[in-house]
Amino acid sequence: MPMEWVRGKTIGHGTFAAVSLAKPTDRSSGFPPVMAVKSCGISHCESLMNERMILEELKDCPEIIGCFGNSVTVENGVRLYNVALEYASGGALSDRVKNSGISRLSENEVRRYTKSVLKGLQFTHRNGFVHCDVKLQNVLLVGDGRGFELSMRN
């Protein structure tokens, strides 16, 4: 079944792609009501295609952002390759740390985030992949406080 969705506002930019909010057009499609869609021009999509393939292989790890599939769209005359991802409503851990100000993160929060990242890395390594860009900007927080975005390099 093809994935049909509507693009919302842009929420981030990566090295080779932009990330937008998206909503599925069919509420009975089985997709969540809000997703993040990572998009790039079709002529530059090799890295994003590779990322989608890796996320598919690592789909059984709850600490790694989920992937719902891919699509090609034409927007403003430009062909885009898109990957639909789990939306991390809590944003990046770097923003959480920056916005905590003087209060800083509690020891419990640090423990929880560290445990989640280590579980995600362990699963990634166990499956033959290496994460080459571990940093706070790539630790994404989903509603329940877990999350780990995979930014893979060949």
Binding residues for ATP: 38
Residue 34 main-chain phi, psi, to 5 deg: -135, 135
Q: Which residues are catalytic?
A: 133
CA distance 23 to 3: 11
CA distance 4 to 1: 9
Asked if 18 contacts 39 with a C-beta cutoff of 8 angstroms, the reply is yes
DSSP-assigned letter for residue 34: S
